[in-house]
Structure 1
C-alpha cells in the first residue's frame, strides 16, 4: 500500500524520516513543488520521493501534515478521494508571531507556547477536517506528540505509544499496520468523536502525553 504525505514541515518531514528508517516508501509533497524538497529526499534515501500535491494525494494512505489555517489552500482542487484513507495529523491551533498582540495576550493561556486555540464552535477537529476531504475515510493519528520525536519510535528501551482513532474499522486497521511498521505501539482510542477529542491539541486530555510501551 503506497503512502503520500502532504506537507513537509516538522510533522511531514519527521514521519518521512521514520518511514525511511524502516525502508518504507512514500511520496512527500508541498505547495512549493518537488524541487524544493531535493535536500530532504537526498537525506532520506531512495524510498522517499518528492512529488506534487496531487501525486501524494493519489496514494492509498495520505497523511495531511499542514497547519490548520493552510488546510483549504492545501486540499482544494485535488481529485476525488473515492474512499482512500486520509490520516488527519492536524490540530486546530494557530502559530503566533512572537511580536503579535495575540502572543502577549494575558487572556490566551497558550500564549507562552506560541500558539492560540482556534474556536471550532463546539465541533471536534476531525469533524471539520472531513469537510476538506469529502469521500475519504479519515483516521486521526500522528498529531498528539511533539513532531521532533516522531522520527524516533523506539525510546527508553521500548516503543513510543501512538494514538489513533476513526469511524471506519478497515481504515483504522490499515493505519495501524503503518504505525506498527514504523515501530510505534499503536493504541486505538475509538471513534473520531471520542478518541479524536482525547488526543487533539491543545486541550485533549491525552494531547502531548508521552507513553512508552516497555
Structure 2
C-alpha cells in the first residue's frame, strides 16, 4: 500500500508530518516542480518524497489537500481512478450551494474522480491543530470519516490509527459528510471540533 498527498500548503505539510511521525513513507506533489518544495519536504523527514503530480497519482491512497476549486485539475491527471481511494481533505467554504448543485461538496469531488472510492476526512481540523502530535494526555485526537464505501472508510480508519489518530465513522457522504463540510459561508457542525478519545 502506498500513499500520496496532493497539495503541500499548511494542510498538506501537517498531513506529511503525521506520516513522518509514524515512520510511514508518503509522496507529496503539487502542480509545481518538485524541486520548488524539496527543502520543505526534507525538513519534515526522510519519509517525505517530493514528486510530480503524474507520479503521485499512481499511489493506492491519495490525500487531496488542495483548494476545493483545484480538485478538477487533479482529477484530470488520470483517466480513471479505479482501484484507488481518495481522501477528500478539501473545504468548499465560500463556494455557493448552487455551484455545488445542492450536493455535499464531497459528492461533487467524488464525481470528478471517476471510478475512485472517496472518503471525506481529516478536513475538520485547522492545519495548526492537525500539525500537532495526535497523542493528547493519554488520549488520541479524533478524525471524522464519511464515505459511501464502507470498505474504503475502514481502510482509511486503519490508516488514521497508524498515524496515531482515533477515527470516528460518520456514515455516508450525504449524512455524515454534511457534518464535516463547508459551503457558502457556513461550516458543518463538527468542523473545528478538536476532540480527544480516551480508552478507559
Encode CA deviations 1:115-157: one digit per residue, 9 max, x unaligned. x343324211111101221000001101111111113212243
The structure 1 residue matched to 2:108, chosen from 119, 124, 128, is 128
Quote the Cα distance in structure 1 between the aligned partners of 2:95 and 2:110: 19
Aligned counterpart, 1:144? 124
Does residue 37 of structure 2 align to residue 51 of structure 1? no
Please give the TM-score of this superposition, normalised by the length of structure 2: 0.91
1:179 alignment partner, SS class: helix
CA RMSD of aligned residues (A): 1.4
Aligned counterpart, 1:96? none
Quote the Cα distance in structure 2 between the aligned partners of 1:29 and 1:162: 23
**Ranges in structure 1 where 5+ consecutive residues have no aligned partner:** 94-115
Encode CA deviations 1:186-212: one digit per residue, 9 max, x unaligned. 100011111110111342111111111
Number of residue pairs matched by the alignment: 192
Range with bigger deviation, 172-181 or 119-128: 119-128
Following superposition, the deviation at residue 69 of structure 1 comes to 1.5
Aligned counterpart, 2:189? 205
1:140 alignment partner, SS class: strand
Following superposition, the deviation at residue 80 of structure 1 comes to 2.1
Quote the Cα distance in structure 1 between the aligned partners of 2:22 and 2:178: 30
Quote the Cα distance in structure 1 between the aligned partners of 2:164 and 2:158: 10
1:193 alignment partner, SS class: coil
Please give the TM-score of this superposition, normalised by the length of structure 1: 0.85
Quote the Cα distance in structure 2 between the aligned partners of 1:191 and 1:92: 18
Range with bigger deviation, 150-159 or 125-134: 150-159
Aligned counterpart, 1:78? 78
**Ranges in structure 2 where 5+ consecutive residues have no aligned partner:** none
Following superposition, the deviation at residue 178 of structure 1 comes to 0.9
Does residue 68 of structure 2 align to residue 68 of structure 1? yes
Aligned counterpart, 1:111? none
Task: Map residues 1-214 of structure 1 onto 2, 5 A cutoff.
Answer: 1-93=1-93, 116-119=94-97, 120-152=100-132, 153-201=134-182, 202-214=186-198
Quote the Cα distance in structure 2 between the aligned partners of 1:14 and 1:28: 12
Contact 1:6–1:29 under 8 Å retained in 2: yes
1:11 alignment partner, SS class: helix
